[in-house]
Amino acid sequence: MNEPAIRASKLVGAQVNDQSGHSAGQIQDIIVNPHSGRIDFALLSLSGRGMNANANLVPVPWKLFRQQSSSQYSAGTEPVFTLNVEPGKLKGAPTLNSTDLDQSQWRQRIYAYYGVTPQPSAGAADSDQEETKGARALPGKNPESPTPPQPPPNP
């Protein structure tokens, strides 16, 4: 995973294109999972749907987004994302309003609609954690080790 870091403030308002390169909408907000610290969903306003303060937003699992530019992200460039979803699927997607966020089942409903498996929670191992743990796996140097290494027994 060598993608450059993007400031969260740059995500809101970022352009989102469909697989054909046509504008699909803009990111209006993001939903962060407080347990994992990762972005779970982007809330989109779709192109062609008028947006106002009371409008519903389309939640899309973050794992369906790819940064469009392969060039290095810099402070002066606005990120553009490609959404790995068929345009017809996006247009018929469920929407959310602020009261829906208080309901416990909305996440599962959105993941099921897109056919996406939710990311594991913070305690589960993932590739980033495994790489980090592997880099710190020297004997006696692993801070996550429950007990310090024992000296070899005397003969």
Task: Give the pLDDT score at 40.
Answer: 93
In whole angstroms, give the CA distance from residue 105 to residue 113.
13
Q: Is residue 58 part of a domain?
A: yes
Residue 112: pLDDT band (50, 70, 90) is very high
The whole-number average pLDDT for the span 33-50 is: 84
- Given strand 58-61, what is the order of strands in its sheet? 58-61, 39-46, 23-32, 15-17, 80-83, 65-67
Q: Sorting pLDDT into bands at 50, 70 and 90, what band is 61? A: very high
Q: Is residue 35 part of a domain?
A: yes
Count of structural domains, the chain: 1
Residue 55 lies in a domain: yes
Instruction: Indicate which CATH number applies to the domain containing 104.
Output: 2.30.30.240
Would the pLDDT of 107 be above 80? yes
Q: Looking at the domain assignment, is residue 34 inside a domain? A: yes
For residue 6, the model assigns a pLDDT of: 81
Domain annotation covers residue 97: yes
pLDDT tens for 78-100 read: 889 999 998 788 888 999 877 77
In a domain, 155, yes or no: no
Point out which residues pair with 59 in neighbouring strands: 43
Most confident of 24-38, 64-78, 91-105: 24-38
Of residues 139 and 63, more confidence is placed in 63
Q: Residue 50's domain spans which residues?
A: 8-115
Question: Of 93, 97, 90, which is closest to residue 56 (Cα–Cα)?
Answer: 97
Q: Which amino acid, one-letter code, is at 87?
A: P
Q: Is residue 1 part of a domain?
A: no
Residue 99 lies in a domain: yes
> What pLDDT does 97 receive?
78
Give the containing element (helix H, strand E) for 127: helix 127-135
